[in-house]
Amino acid sequence: MDITIKFTKMQGLGNDFIIVDNNEIEKNNINSSELAKKICDRNFGIGGDGLIVVNPSDMKGDTDVSWRIFNSDGTEPQMCGNGIRCFAKYIYENGIINKKKFTVQTLAGVIVPEIQENGEVRVDMGEPVLEAKKIPLSGIEGTPVIKHPIEVVDRTFTFSAVSMGNPHCLIFTEEDSEKLARIYGAEIELNTLFPEKTNVEFIKVLSRNNIKIDVWERGCGITLACGTGACASTVAAILNGLTDNTVFADLPGGRLKIEWKQDKNSNNVFMTGASEFVFKGEYYYKQ
């Protein structure tokens, strides 16, 4: 039986997402993971890095709104930085929320986006997770995890590990970061050090306030941008003494501003960047 599903497509720095209301999922008794694999397929579907479900009934919490997000391979990450900006813009522009700052229930906890006057979205991403067992890492202990060796294929790298609700392996390099991500990203994602697999970032430090990042995203592969990756990269750069606390992160899809507030009042990371409407339509889903 063919089912028609209403959707909206949005992108944040080229990281693109299909947004669907939970009513579309429930009324048709659709498995969200299976839908993600089909609808995100760039040859046989709409094409996207992930599927975002608005207000799923299984997400509970004292928040303004909730979401679930699924990678293009059907896996469900705890958080996605570019995705949450697209979600926030969608929620506000479609009148689901009538205030510019609101709370979102996610698998990574409560996230607080705020629509800025220039249309960009600033997101309080919460505190970075630095404890090895909570990231999680296997066979490694300590807080923070920096300059730890990892052997992969024909190379040994040193990495830092940070979770922004999802795990990140952060490698600083002076080589071609895009080439390294393509060659080694998949192998590192599946390394046994990371029991839940990992996102992988190769990072060049350009100045005390500017870094360049190439990303191999867990469950997606090479992507144009990763918001949580930019946050984790900035945290790792600060922990390694390479940058100041406010950093512009340049990714293939564009630039994000990342701030890590470290004082008596806050230990939270803030991400600011663009998100844009692409198109909307109806998708014919064959069960």
Structure tokens at 39: 């609808």
Handedness of CA 107, 112, 117, 120 (dihedral sign): negative
Q: For residue 179, what are its two tokens?
A: 């080439």
**Residue 241 to residue 87: CA distance in whole angstroms:** 33
For 264, the enclosing helix (H) or strand (E) is: none
Helix (H) or strand (E) holding 115: strand 109-115
Tell me the CA distances in angstroms from 181 to 113, 187, 219, one per residue in order. 29, 10, 14
Q: Is 63 helix (H, G, I), strand (E, B) or coil?
A: coil
Beta bridge partners of 148: 159
Token pair belonging to 83: 């995705």
Strands 15-21, 50-54: pairing is parallel
Pairing mode, if any, of strands 15-21 and 2-12?
A: antiparallel
Active site residues: 80, 226
3-state secondary structure of 205: strand
